[in-house]
Structure 1
């Protein structure tokens, strides 16, 4: 998860270097894909070892299950979007735009959180073979069209088949009632709008409430981590929670985020 800090810094630099935005974005995708692949492999290996250990400790173990873990690893989980809509963002020739809205009370403490969330989620989707519109392009369009009020407008502007709209209702980084313990928390509604073949109109086909918490089981001491590093870690975690709605993941992937 510490790789999230490096990713966060690269994304932040990209936003202030407009001349190299596209080049930096493409390089980030290559680096990030390798990072995510390695992390996922470690998590799946940990889950497999735990499952095998449990099998050895308890005599009631089903050896067929144990052999299945040895051969194929832990079972995968179908994305909720795919299960509910019978569609997939990984299909050929599909392009996805991501946009996040945060109310003033959230942006009061985190001025650019809406752009940061959309950027991290876009990165997450792209690293899982989902073709995306570069977030700087979306941000530029939003800046030029401050009166936009429909997700379909973004789909039309970029000819994206799907628009992932994140309504971020709450965001915090400290444990409730504490200034010395970190715990990221978010509440959001993630919706997907599907554009028609002409990219002139669209309809909402998916909606899911996200209630996020990291670390999962106990907060992290502020003495052990800088706020900026913890924020990067949590943004990586939050983007993964949202991203899993749209790409396959595995049993045991959350084990590394427990503490």
Structure 2
């Protein structure tokens, strides 16, 4: 992760002796030099404070130190200009996975839809209840035509997550585990033209944690729960504005 920032030096510092009074000659230059030294000292101490932090937290804390923790626009909002958290648009979430993944994790489609639905609702996004979506899938066997699906639930947008890989075991190792998921996220606008049109289409690769861990440290059930929480949060953040400190690294 990279973070760029610049310190303009336009703000004064309390106790610097710079009150705005006019000075002349050497006194003016001396006061200016004192202020500059104080600013450099404060920046230097700030750098020492964040340099002790590991990984991305160093840059996150540095950003918060100079700029606070402002919200950043979601990828969806940057692509469409639509802020889903205003609750004016209704969202339907669908998930597909290959037979190999479903054989090992038969509930993954509905589990992911349920988690995303919950996370988005807490942010004020209007989402079709996951139970209704699950019932429709059970009755129809597959997602079929998203035009029919969106019309059935009067959805403005359909978010379709297609899982292409989902693993929790490390290849060629019997005692290590690491979650890895690859997926495609497509978002269809179902109201603009009367039939679904794509407005967002990206692929993602996620790993959790960054490095494999011993299986004895965490049961598969607990590990899978942590991995799904990580994945669902990362995917949900594609759809709502969030702060840099909320991003899962």
- TM-score, normalised by the number of residues in structure 1: 0.68
2:29 is aligned to none
Alpha-carbon shift at residue 93 of structure 1 (Å): 2.4
| Structure number with bigger Rg | 2
Q: Output the CA distance in 1 between the equivalents of 2:207 and 2:78.
A: 24
- 5+ residue gaps, structure 2, are 1-42, 52-60
The match for 1:246 among 219, 239, 247 is: 239
Q: Equivalences for 1:40-59 in 2 at 5 Å?
A: 55-57=47-49
Contact 1:117 1:235 (8 Å CA) reproduced: yes
Q: Equivalences for 1:137-216 in 2 at 5 Å?
A: 137-146=132-141, 148-196=143-191, 201-216=195-210
Q: Output the CA distance in 2 between the equivalents of 1:171 and 1:154.
A: 26
Q: Output the CA distance in 2 between the equivalents of 1:246 and 1:69.
A: 23
- 5+ residue gaps, structure 1, are 1-50, 60-65
Q: Output the CA distance in 2 between the equivalents of 1:58 and 1:136.
A: 45
> Paired residues, what number?
198
Q: Output the CA distance in 2 between the equivalents of 1:123 and 1:52.
A: 43
Q: Output the CA distance in 1 between the equivalents of 2:63 and 2:224.
A: 38
Alpha-carbon shift at residue 228 of structure 1 (Å): 0.7
The match for 2:215 among 219, 222, 246 is: 222
1:9 is aligned to none
Alpha-carbon shift at residue 52 of structure 1 (Å): 10
1:112 is aligned to 107
The structure with higher relative contact order (CA 8 Å, sep 6+) is 1
RMSD (Å) for aligned C-alpha atoms: 2.8
Q: Output the CA distance in 2 between the equivalents of 1:223 and 1:85.
A: 45
- TM-score, normalised by the number of residues in structure 2: 0.71
